[in-house]
Every structure is written in structure tokens, then in C-alpha cells.
């Protein structure tokens, strides 16, 4: 799962660091991810994992690190 998240971030996150080696708890916004880029990351994650982020998850804290994204994706894929 982490590898897929990293791949999405590499393609859509517009990070100033390498998404492949970026620490799981590093702040992605501090690494240059803009709000615009974060929307593209959300869309790509929805496609990659066949999920839909409910509106309650559409906030900065959910997308601020690889670990927080993983937790959200885990929650959404848990019951299937």
C-alpha cells in the first residue's frame, strides 16, 4: 500500500523531495505539495485503491503525510 501511495505522490504531489524515499511522517505540505496538487493526489488515490474519500476526510490532516494517507486508505478499504 505504501508503495502505491508513494507512486501517486511521485506523479501528482509536485513535491520538492523524492516521494520514493520521503519519510512516512514527513509533512508533505512543507515539502511543497499545494492544495491544488493535493486534490490531484486524492483523485489518483481514489482511482488507485477504488475508493471514495468521504467529505469528512477532505482536510489537510488526512493528506499531510504518507502515514496519515495510509491510515485513511486502510479505513476505507477495511470493510470489503
Partner 1 sequence: MGQTGIHVEAVRRIAAEIAGPAADGVDREGRFPHETFAALRTARMMSACIPEDLGGFGCGLVELADMCEALAQHCSSAAMVFAMHHIQLACIVRHGLDQPYFRSYLATIVAQQNLIASVTSEVGVGGEMRTSLCGVERQGDRFTLAKDASTISYGQQADDLLVTARSSPEAPNSDQSLVLVRKADYSLEQKGAWDALGMRGTCSPPFKMTSRGGVDQILASPFSDIASQTMVPFSHILWASCWLGIAKAAMTRARAFVRAQARAKPGTTPHAALRLARGASLLQSMRTNVEHAARECEALRGSGHETEVLSSVAFALKMNNLKVSSSQLVVEIVQEALQTCGIMGYKNDSKFAVGRHLRDAYSAVLMIANDRIYATNATMLLVLKDD
How far is CA 70 from its chain centroid? Answer: 7
Q: How far apart are CA 54 and CA 27, in angstroms?
A: 22
Q: How far apart are CA 14 and CA 55, in angstroms?
A: 23
Please report how close the Cβ of residue 63 comes to partner 1 at its closest, in angstroms.
10
Q: Residue 14 in contact with residue 32, Cβ under 8 Å?
A: yes
Q: Which is nearer to partner 1, 33 or 66 (CB)?
A: 33
Q: Which is nearer to partner 1, 14 or 70 (CB)?
A: 14
Give residues in contact with partner 1 (CB under 8 A): 16, 29-36, 39, 42-43, 46, 52-56, 58-61
List the grid coordinates of 51: 475508493
Please report how close the Cβ of residue 36 comes to partner 1 at its closest, in angstroms.
6
Q: Which is nearer to partner 1, 6 or 13 (CB)?
A: 13
Amino acid at each position: 500500500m505504501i508503495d502505491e501511495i508513494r507512486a501517486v505522490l511521485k506523479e501528482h504531489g509536485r513535491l520538492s523531495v523524492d516521494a520514493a524515499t520521503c519519510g512516512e511522517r514527513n509533512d508533505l505540505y512543507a515539502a511543497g505539495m499545494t492544495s491544488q496538487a493535493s486534490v490531484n493526489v486524492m483523485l489518483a488515490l481514489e482511482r488507485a485503491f477504488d475508493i471514495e474519500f468521504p467529505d469528512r476526510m477532505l482536510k489537510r490532516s488526512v493528506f499531510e503525510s504518507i502515514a496519515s494517507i495510509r491510515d485513511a486508505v486502510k479505513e476505507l478499504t477495511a470493510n470489503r
